[in-house]
Structure 1
Amino acid sequence: MPNVFAFTFARGGSKGVPRKNVRLLGKKPLIGWAIELSQQLPFVTAHYVSTDDQEIADVSLSFNAQIIERPDELATDTASEWLAWQHAVNHLIAQGIARDEDIFLSLPATAPLRTLDDIQGAYQQFLTNGLDILVTATDAQRNPYFNMLKPSVQGGFELVCQGDAHRRQDAPVCYDMTTVCYLTTFDFVKRASGVLDGSVDMYRVSPRSAVDIDTEQDFRLAEFYLSEQL
């Protein structure tokens, strides 16, 4: 039976919301939301935080997570997070902690409003469908076949994707990928080159769960939802 390892990848140099991973949301550091939720999942063996930042590491340790020291070259603004995924996976395998067949669950710190039901539902779907990787998504608010524009080579602007849709209902259904969670195997992370480099499954979540903190406005929206819940 494969083990399930949860991961959060948190750089110290976030730009949109400086120091967002340790900033308080409600009364809890942002990264604490992800760690505490994983500790409520009965199928999760351990939660690892990959970081280059000592404060993030200290906060994560206070929530009983385990730390993987992220190399500086994997923590720059231009570094691919996929490479950090591979570093974490290879580290646990080299330590004899994990195996290729074990399950990799990424819980980014930026989606603090995800619920236990979101992750449990995604996990069961991943086990059932047997595809390489599962991503989470919500219904897109904009549609590239109907109301999203790009600059035209002839000048002016045109639809991102050309088609015959004259009403939104006629356009192909599109989804916004979220950071609620990603589920795959250690083996897939090792051999693939990115999230969409294989057979991809999708689990739908609510717009509330999908709030992704990348700007101050996102942070305020998350605070609003939490105050409304209280």
Structure 2
Amino acid sequence: MKKIFAFVFARGGSKGLPRKNVLPLGGIPLVAHSIKLAKQINNIDRIFVSTDDDEIKTIANEYGAEVIDRPQLLSGDTASEIDAWRHAIRNLQERGEKFDIFLSLPATSPLRNCSDISACLDSLNDDTDVVITVTPASRSPYFNMVSRDSDGFSNILNRSEVYTRRQDTPEAFDITTVAYVLRPNFILNNEKLFDGRVRSVVIPKERAVDIDDYWDYKYAEMLFKENLKCS
């Protein structure tokens, strides 16, 4: 039986929405939603929260997760997420802990469900290095996504002479932050997710909200309340 460790990486700082990881959603802090979900999935062996923030550490302990102290060097706005992943893995390895599958459940996606995560875990097979989650894109890079220079001049992002109708273009997807599933060795030995063979799991838009700013947060609140009405 493969050993699965779930991780929630939650910094104390945030420019887009200050203190977002501790903001309440449905009466509990945002970071706690990831912990609660992980606890509902039977084959997850342990749950860790990597953070630099004392309040987040307290919340993690209250909801039954173990804390990994995230150094300040890896907690700023310019810090790389994959560097924080490596730090967590090495921290556990130094303690003598071994596990087979690394599952990241970002705190900013509180509307996912257990079936979403189970589908991601099931998708990591011998032919796959990385599992990400995606949702259907509302824009096509061939027709209505543009770049913009400092003078305001714009160009289509993906110019093509092949496609003359939007309906004929390849289906496009947005990467979401619902979950990431990898093996620890891949994280330690590669710089980018797409250095490996990446498989994706499609998540409906209503469960793929990624809270980055105030309006994302208000939208998530609305959807959360709607889900309560339907349950």
Deviation, structure 1 residue 173: 1.6
Deviation, structure 1 residue 224: 0.5
Cα distance in 1 for partners of 2:130, 2:123 equals 11
Deviation, structure 1 residue 154: 11
Task: Give secondary structure in 2 for the equivalent of 1:88.
Answer: helix
2:132 corresponding residue in structure 1: 135
Write out per-residue CA displacement over residues 9-63 of structure 1, whole angstroms, 9 at most, x where no aligned residue: 0111111111111110011100010000000001101110000011111111100
Counterpart residue identity of residue 33, structure 2: W
Task: Give secondary structure in 1 for the equivalent of 2:15.
Answer: coil
> Which one is further off, 215-224 or 149-158?
149-158
1:190 to 175, 188, 191: 188
Is the alpha carbon distance of 1:148 and 1:96 closer, same or farther for their aligned partners in structure 2, counting shifts above 3 Å? same
Q: CA contact under 8 A between 2:49 and 2:66: conserved in structure 1?
A: yes
Show structure 1 runs of 5+ residues with no match: none
Alignment of 1:32 onto 2:32? yes
Counterpart residue identity of residue 3, structure 1: K
Given the two structures, how large is their TM-score scaled by the length of structure 2? 0.94
Alignment of 1:8-87 (within 5 A): 8-87=8-87
1:6 corresponding residue in structure 2: 6
Is the alpha carbon distance of 1:144 and 1:95 closer, same or farther for their aligned partners in structure 2, counting shifts above 3 Å? same
Q: CA contact under 8 A between 2:127 and 2:197: conserved in structure 1?
A: no
Alignment of 1:145 onto 2:142? yes
Is the alpha carbon distance of 1:27 and 1:148 closer, same or farther for their aligned partners in structure 2, counting shifts above 3 Å? same
Cα distance in 1 for partners of 2:87, 2:55 equals 21
Deviation, structure 1 residue 151: 3.1
Task: Give secondary structure in 2 for the equivalent of 1:196.
Answer: helix
> Which one is further off, 35-44 or 155-164?
155-164
Cα distance in 1 for partners of 2:176, 2:148 equals 26
Write out per-residue CA displacement over residues 142-172 of structure 1, whole angstroms, 9 at most, x where no aligned residue: 1111111113799832210111322211222
RMSD over equivalenced CA pairs, Å: 1.6
Given the two structures, how large is their TM-score scaled by the length of structure 1? 0.94
List 4+ stretches of structure 1 deviating above 4 A.
152-155
Cα distance in 1 for partners of 2:207, 2:113 equals 7
Write out per-residue CA displacement over residues 99-137 of structure 1, whole angstroms, 9 at most, x where no aligned residue: 4xx10000000000001110011111223x631100000
Counterpart residue identity of residue 176, structure 1: D
Alignment of 1:226 onto 2:224? yes
Cα distance in 2 for partners of 1:155, 1:48 equals 45
> Which one is further off, 14-23 or 176-185?
14-23
How many aligned residue pairs are there?
227
Counterpart residue identity of residue 87, structure 1: H
